[in-house]
Structure 1
């Protein structure tokens, strides 16, 4: 699976559930709390007997009926707020996120209720809406969630037993998604998107110097954004925080001269890229970019850019001369510029 899952697994194992990764903040620690061993759930689930990982490439269930649990407007609002920062939903687009919201169902929790028990089969993935929940591993209190977070994904991804026990310590509400729907929406969509981005990146000349596994890491870091016709993607003079790969559509590049007249200097088509040189030079954007028709771009933020594209830096720097020649053709003389984008 993608690095999103590898990193998540490594996090869970290296920091045994002491903080919810999906919200980026550590939960309350167990310090100062009575560490009473949790009572077993009276609705004991059967133990897992398999550790087979889910393989989305081998999953051919394309015709599955969409799961929809009816919700009020108030419930949809609360759920949308609860899932917006969940790590494993990061690669989903707007339509897929709506499918996630449709597929989840609400469960009210009461104090001392076991949500999941260590060693049991995984049946659902959970997102916390409200309430506090203690985390036990081998009957030891190791952390807590407070009004946010998610848990239960590893058992569904790898068909492994639950790694911890989660017990409600207050009245609260959680959202659940069943195993089959979780795999179909989250895992398979993430897999398909990764393959799509890998195919896109293979067509980018700049990335020819990358090894296949390096392109795979870049694909996992991309976030898709859609721009309507005429929408400004980059503004000349702004601070650079990302670069763009054009998935579909076209991007028009313009530069303002000393008279503040804006002239088109280039067009970037599907498979092209823009915005990288400002990240290289650490200077403001030297051009603007606009969508031509509905345009979809895969966005790579500056942190991922610096971490993943080191082998491509020399190629990108050589492109600066080409951009200066383009400006000379437009404005009639050589223009000193270190970043056309």
Structure 2
């Protein structure tokens, strides 16, 4: 008797850090099983309605029910909001006849997990951060199918596989793409290039430090590709200092660069390791030190530096970073060490696990 195509519901909304790995996993799943039916759960908050439909997946919206990190007045409203979200998530699971729920954390994940548990559907968790969020800590008590970005993640039954990334990143040959990538940004093909980015929204401290060191970088022969973020402005009147508010295809920015200054969100750390781009990571000073933990493995391996937000200044760039940028052998060694910490096939690994789990559950037709 034939079995029908697997029906998978992915839950990972609100931020790009949850949505991107969810969509990258979905792409890998469809590549392995083209007939698979993938439905995404999301909310009206955050980037769900922008990023998910653009990737070609049906999006079902449920009421947001964030779990407060602390005991505040918002906690008193959580039970009723969560109940409504669970009911809405359950309706979607019933409608699509889901075989498995795959959650990546965020507002939408907890209702999806609880609705799946009510229906005795298998639950698969992926946790990108070293310090797990509330939804995934909750779900880890409900399932043995737990996958993480790092072995440092403390969740029961967890297996470290890395973070699902886009093939454009994992398949990038930086050396072969370098000259074309530099032309794309108006940079010379020769000499070191420093990539400066504060993520999709930018970072004031990173922008100020890099732009403040522009003259010193130029004097050292270092070109700069500075992605400021759409709400930030940096003045530059030199063609060797390229300024852009946003770059949609980051693989070209990575290919153009020899080194990066950036935040250490989980996706950023995973992407730089996958392409072997060494970096000076500047963790956000809040969020309980989460970003510092994300950078830990590659820093320990010698593939990156760690600098406090308050310590990142033009003087630090001149004293610490410019000597590295002027030493091709050191950059090459750091690149190799960064690559050794990468996990470029996490999307396929997770997709294979999910297909096996769905196969055990879904009925024959």
Instruction: Return the TM-score normalized by structure 2.
Output: 0.27
Normalized per residue, the structure richer in helix is: 2
Normalized per residue, the structure richer in strand is: 1
Larger Rg, first or second structure (1 or 2)? 1
